[in-house]
């Protein structure tokens, strides 16, 4: 028999009467399902949404039905907010709107130094004062027997350093933070963000206590004018208060360890370690404690 290069198909209808409607309906259903899957995968556009509570936002988004099994069987499709990066050297203020703080160091649980951490508006916890430094500086050139007032030490300042822990996606981190106070008068409170006794009563009251305390320190410093029978006088003084881990009572004089040094007009400057009686120095307790007044009313959060 001759084999031609051309041929034609032979078709035969299916013998089942129900095949045609089932095929048509099944095709329509399959088309709808594929369209829905394609819509869910590509039928959207990205939009940046900002939130002040990223942890709750993530929890709410990941609790939606389409993120549960069987739609998300392996739970590998999760909503996640992009954290704000806190870097060493950054400054910030807390929800109490008190002092402005500067990040000095960041360490992980293994005490490894980090340059940045992801921050999702978590509360700073367990903030413990590490060091309080009083930097006393005489701003005028008046020498004894000329009278000295607290205004002569108006350029003085306080630098406070403390450690806080903060929760991140990588675990608890320790953040070393500093803040500086330089009061310039009884009625000046611009060193805090918000000074309203109605909305921020604790900050308002804390600024009044701090100013009163600081003016007392400056008034005491103004009396350091005659040493060795008036032959020299103090123009600089630094007092370092470091936390004493063995003392828990903040009203105890040993709550902080104290180291100090002074600078005189003749460039001499004894310190606590080489104190000599003939220098005219003696220990003095003013009953105005240099304790954590800085931290009573602006706990970081």
Confidence of residue 7 (pLDDT cuts 50, 70, 90): confident
26-54 confidence digits (pLDDT tens)? 999 999 988 887 776 676 677 788 888 88
Confidence of residue 287 (pLDDT cuts 50, 70, 90): very low
What is the reported pLDDT for 262?
Answer: 82
What is the reported pLDDT for 290?
Answer: 40
17-33 confidence digits (pLDDT tens)? 888 888 889 999 999 98
- Say yes or no to pLDDT of 113 above 60: yes
What is the reported pLDDT for 252?
Answer: 84
Q: Taking the C-alpha atoms of 122, 124, 125 and 129 in order, what is their torsion angle to the nearest 10 degrees?
A: 170
Which secondary structure element, helix H or strand E, spans residue 204, and what is its range? helix 201-221
Distance CA 248, CA 250 (A): 6
Return the top range by mean pLDDT from 33-37, 112-116, 214-218, 225-229. Answer: 112-116
What is the reported pLDDT for 165?
Answer: 93
Q: What is the mean pLDDT of residues 148-154?
A: 80
Confidence of residue 293 (pLDDT cuts 50, 70, 90): very low
161-218 confidence digits (pLDDT tens)? 999 999 888 889 999 999 998 866 667 788 888 888 888 888 888 888 888 888 888 8
- Say yes or no to pLDDT of 141 above 80: no
Confidence of residue 282 (pLDDT cuts 50, 70, 90): low
Please provide the average confidence, as pLDDT, over all residues in the chain. 79
List, in order, residues 6 or more apart from 289 with CB less than 8 Å away. 251, 253, 255
Q: What is the mean pLDDT of residues 221-234?
A: 70
39-94 confidence digits (pLDDT tens)? 766 766 777 888 888 888 888 887 777 777 766 666 667 778 888 899 999 998 88
DSSP string for 51-113: -S-HHHHHHHHHTSGGGSTTTTTTS-----PPPEEEETT-EEE-TT---EEEEEEEE-TT--E
What is the reported pLDDT for 44?
Answer: 64
What are the residue ranges spanned by the domains of the chain?
50-79, 84-277
- Say yes or no to pLDDT of 266 above 80: no
CA 199-201-207 angle, 5° bins: 125
């Amino acid at each position: 028999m001759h084999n031609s290069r051309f041929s034609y198909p032979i078709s035969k209808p299916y013998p089942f009467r129900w095949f045609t409607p089932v095929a048509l309906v099944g095709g329509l259903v399959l088309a709808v399902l594929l369209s829905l899957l394609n819509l869910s995968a590509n039928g959207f556009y990205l939009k940046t949404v900002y939130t002040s509570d990223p942890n709750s936002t993530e929890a709410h988004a990941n609790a939606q039905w389409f993120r549960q099994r069987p739609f998300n069987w392996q739970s590998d499709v999760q909503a996640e907010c992009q954290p704000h990066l806190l870097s060493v050297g950054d400054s910030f203020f807390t929800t109490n709107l008190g002092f402005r703080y500067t990040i000095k160091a960041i360490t992980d649980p293994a005490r490894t130094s980090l340059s940045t951490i992801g921050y999702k508006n978590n509360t700073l916890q367990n903030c413990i004062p590490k060091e309080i430094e009083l930097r006393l500086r005489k701003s005028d050139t008046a020498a004894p027997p000329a009278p000295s007032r607290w205004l002569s030490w108006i350029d003085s300042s306080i630098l406070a350093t403390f450690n806080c822990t903060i929760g991140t996606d990588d675990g608890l981190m320790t953040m070393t933070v500093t803040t500086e106070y330089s009061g310039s008068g009884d009625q000046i409170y611009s060193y805090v963000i918000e000074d309203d006794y109605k909305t921020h009563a604790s900050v308002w009251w804390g600024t009044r206590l701090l100013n009163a305390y600081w003016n007392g320190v400056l008034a005491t410093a103004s009396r350091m004018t005659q040493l060795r029978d008036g032959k020299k006088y103090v123009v600089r003084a630094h007092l370092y208060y470091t936390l004493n881990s063995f003392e828990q009572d903040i009203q105890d004089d040993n709550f902080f360890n104290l180291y100090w040094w002074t600078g005189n007009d003749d460039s001499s400057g004894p310190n606590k370690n080489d104190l000599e009686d003939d220098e005219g120095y003696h220990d003095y307790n003013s009953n105005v404690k240099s304790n954590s007044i800085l931290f009573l009313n602006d706990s970081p959060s």
